[in-house]
Structure 1
Amino acid sequence: MLFERIYDEDLAQASYFIGCQRTGQALVVDPRRDIEVYRDVAAKNGMEITAVTETHIHADYLSGTRELAAATGATAHVSGEGGEDWQYEFDAERLHDGDEIRIGNVVVRAVHTPGHTPEHLSFLVTDGAFADAPGYVLTGDFVFAGDLGRPDLLDEAAGGDDTRFLGAKQMFASLRDKFLTLPDHVQVFPGHGAGSACGKALGAIPSTTVGYERLYSWWGRYLAEGDEAGFVEELLEGQPDAPFYFGRMKRQNRRGPAVMGERAPLPQLDAQQVARQLAAGEVTFVDTRPADQVHTGTVAGALNIPGGTSIATYAAWAVDPERGARPLVLLAADPEAAREYWDHLVRVGIDEVAGYVTGLEGLPRTTPELVSPAALEAYDKALLLDVRAKSEHAEGHVPGSTQLHGGRVLWNLDELPEQGTIVTYCQGGLRSSVVASTLRHAGYDVAELEGSYSGWAAHREALAADAG
């Protein structure tokens, strides 16, 4: 059996390539939409992808199940569990508890594990060439290394009404009746790692075992004692803010993400043409440089979505395709950099990219306003906006600030003052720059706290030292 974990650092998301080396058949579980990585693995190993499946209707990224099936001719399989309200709306083979997908010698059995979502499946994997019992389980957003999937996302981001308590109870039952009935040696491969908003304390290691989680997880004690009430309380307590784009992901994944097909290379655009399009409101410019470079000067009305490992995350904070977003023009060094950046965008359903430019020359310029920590108190501001998570704000914040997670700002503009200047901050400045550029693009007057909270805290410590 060939078993490869394919990890996206941006969204802390894992997909899995499972192949039978005897027959050359392969299955992909939880693929993303930029599918070349799976086709490359198949080609490298002389395999054909014949089946594609996913553990559940994802919230944090757009599924590549339809995209990969369309490109390879593979059969798509999705959950048929969860009841009428949680059925997929596109054509695919339905999987129910106990159903199997056979890939040569490899048997992949679906196990219904509701809790994170009602339709959630885990997959038990048996390598028939060596064993007649499962040795691996792909748990999606059910069991993580050191944590569990959160059952509150349907309330937080998908329009649910108090579904978290039922979900938490279902999670308890799924652990008791499904996960903990497995032998201790079974290796656990989850759908996310540290940094994902799909749990509150995910481990950074790529896998764990049933036995290790049974002995050392925070929830093992509650299961051993049969304490459902205590389990529910601790599971729901302290869950992180859910970005609002999660709701769009849920809707699109249930409906069926659009199949893009082969994407042509992005064209390099003429600066004069882009300037005219910007003036006409036909495109949106994306400055992909780090915040400190953007603060020295950027394109007027640009979004600042820095390149690196969190492109999809921050792009989904700043761009909502369901609100008539314009095609994007990227700042990129070359065609390869532009394509790589675009790959991150399509993972969260931001498909419309007009092309790229390699510099800012010939484009309308502006310099974002910064407010020093020393000048903040006297600065005439309508709102001081802390765009960090609730937990960060609770640990320490600038007095008088209002907390609103950066991934929720674009969907809560009615909470912001229409007149006056909004001053934004985060911990170090990156998230603040993303949100500030988003608000400027939406027409708000925005300044950024120089150095953000870290800079402000250092300033306060210096004042205290001088006074002492």
Structure 2
Amino acid sequence: MFFKQFYNDHLSHASYLIGCQRTNEALIVDPNKDLQQYIDVANKEGFTITQAVETHIHADYASGIRDVAKLLNAHIHVSKEGDDSLGYKNMPDNTHFVGHDDIIKVGHIELKVLHTPGHTPESISFLLTDIGGGSSVPMGLFTGDFLFIGDIGRPDLLEKAVSVEGSTEIGAKAMFKSIQSTKDLPDYIQIWPGHGAGSPCGKALGAIPMSTLGYERENNWAFKITDESQFIDALTSEQPDPPTHFAKMKEINQFGSELISPYEVYPLAHDDKSLLHFDLRSREAFHGGHQRGAINIPYDKNFINQIGFYLNYDEEVILIGDRDTVNQAAKTLQWIGFNQVKGYIKPSTDIMTNTVDAAAITGQEEHILDIRSQDEYNRGHIEHAVHIPHGRLMKEDIPFNHDDKIYVHCQSGLRSSIAIGILEHRGFTNIINVKEGYSKINV
């Protein structure tokens, strides 16, 4: 059997290619839109990609499952479990809807479908047995967003991202049962998850690429809580705010989207100040001089999770940076279904960020804006600070005058750098960035 994991750092996403070396057939597990990576490896190893499977309707990136069917004429397998109204729509003709205990074969490799709801109602996992290798017992489990290394999938995205009321508690109860359903699987089963550290699909994902079920039973918190109510409380507390683009990803992945059409981003002859501008440089470079109102989202592994809070899929954006970085960023944005980069401009030094060391904050400053998450705020805050999580700054009312001196802080200084540009974009002119954030404020 051939096995390879593909890991996308920008999406914190793991996908897989497995192949039967007797029949030279291959199958992709949870493909993203970058199909060429799978094709290149399959060609190198002498495989033909004949099938693909998906664990659930993803909320954090644009799925490539339909692309596999359309471009490679391969058979695809998706879940028929869960609520039909939340299930897959507009699927290609060569789609197979599968449910619990169904068997999928690629050559002499067998995948058994297990319904493992909780993260989403339709979530399924795939238990692999290498029959061609002479085994009669399973080797490993493709868990998608059910079971991660050190964590499990969050159950609240349907409620928080797409407003399915009451789905968080329903999902948490289902996840408790899904965890219990693994009790008959042996400890040696390998765990092949859909995400790693940095993904907002959980709150404490490990950074190693795979594990075993036995190791997770010993170390993963989800296996240690046997009381259902305590489990639900632990699972639903302190989950990070989902980026705004998650709602769009759910729509795209449920109903389908166009194939990716790569495009070049060119420098603009005339800037359009009415559009959102995203400065891709480091925060240090941004603070040293930037265009007023440009939002600083450095092009690094956190790029998608940060810019996703501010994208409007019906409006174009302008990027700020060098040509290579801008075009890499535009390609990365296509992985979340965004194709609206109008062009780019070079960095300017119109305005420097005013900063103050966190240690200099007394707590007596008149206008303080705390942009941390609700959980961070609840654990401690400056008494009279106005609290607006950074992902809501673009839309919520900010109760200050445009010329007020506003001290902005997050926990460590990263999100406040983003907030500077948003506040400038909204017309505020006297903003002070609190370096190092609340973690270094002594009040």
TM-score normalised by L of structure 1:
0.84
Secondary structure in structure 2 of the residue aligned to 1:181: coil
What is the match of residue 336 of structure 2?
348
Summarize the alignment of residues 379-394 of structure 1 with structure 2, pairs less than 5 Å apart: 381=367, 384-394=368-378
Letter in 2 for 1:404: I
Which amino acid in structure 1 is aligned with residue 374 of structure 2?
Answer: K
What residue is the counterpart of 1:310 in the other structure?
302
Percent identity between matched residues is: 36
- Distance in 1 (alpha carbons) for counterparts of 2:320 and 2:21: 41
Q: Deviations over 1:338-393 (max 9, x none)?
A: 33222321222222223445x336xxx53154242547867664xx3322333433
- How far residue 395 of structure 1 moved from its aligned partner, in angstroms, is 4.3
| Other-structure match for 1:464 | none
Change (3 A) 1:441 1:62: farther
Distance in structure 1 (CA, Å) of the matches to 2:428 and 2:334: 27
Query: SS in structure 2 opposite 1:219?
Result: helix
C-alpha distance in 1 between matches for 2:222 and 2:14: 23
Change (3 A) 1:444 1:52: farther
What do the CA deviations read for 1:139-180 (whole angstroms, capped 9, x no partner)?
111111122111122222220212222212211222223x22
Unaligned runs of 5+ in 2: none
State the 1:89 CA deviation. Answer: 1.3
Is the 1:311–1:345 Cα contact (8 Å) retained in structure 2?
A: no
User: Taking structure 1 as reference, are residues 401 and 274 closer, same or farther at Cα in structure 2, changes over 3 Å only?
Assistant: same
Q: Is the 8 A contact 2:139 2:190 kept in 1?
A: yes
Assess if the C-alpha contact under 8 Å between 1:436 and 1:446 holds in 2.
no
**Counterpart residue identity of residue 356, structure 2:** S
Q: What amino acid maps onto 1:69 in structure 2?
A: A
SS at match of 1:243: coil
Pairwise mapping of residues 359-398 of structure 1 onto structure 2 (< 5 A)?
359-360=346-347, 366-373=350-357, 374=360, 381=367, 384-398=368-382
Correspondence 1:182-201 to 2 at 5 A: 182-201=185-204
> Does 2:262 align with 1:263?
yes
The answer to whether 1:295 aligns with 2:312 is no
- d(CA) in 1 for partners of 2:282 and 2:75? 42
For residue 158 of structure 1, what is the aligned residue in structure 2? 162
CA contact (8 A) 1:318 1:435 kept: no
Structure 1 runs not aligned, ≥5 long: 462-468
Instruction: Return the offset for 1:246.
Output: 2.0
Q: Is residue 236 of structure 2 the alignment partner of residue 236 of structure 1? A: yes
1:414-448 Cα deviation digits (max 9, x unpaired): 34237334543223332222233234334455624
Match of 1:274 in 2: 270
Distance in structure 2 (CA, Å) of the matches to 1:136 and 1:305: 38
Cα separation, 2, equivalents of 1:438 and 1:257: 30
CA drift of 1:33 comes to 2.0
What letter matches 2:283 in structure 1?
A
Match of 1:147 in 2: 151
Q: Distance in 2 between matches of 1:360 and 1:217?
A: 45
* 1:78 to 1:446, Cα distance in 2 relative to 1, 3 A: farther
Q: Which residue of 1 aligns with 2:253?
A: 253
Structure (1/2) with the larger helix percentage? 1
**1:1-28, Cα deviation, whole Å (9 max, x unpaired):** 2211111222322111212223222211
Change in 2 beyond 3 A, CA 1:441/1:107? farther
The answer for the alignment partner of 2:76 in structure 1 is 76
One-letter code aligned to 1:317: F
- SS of the equivalent of 1:93 reads strand
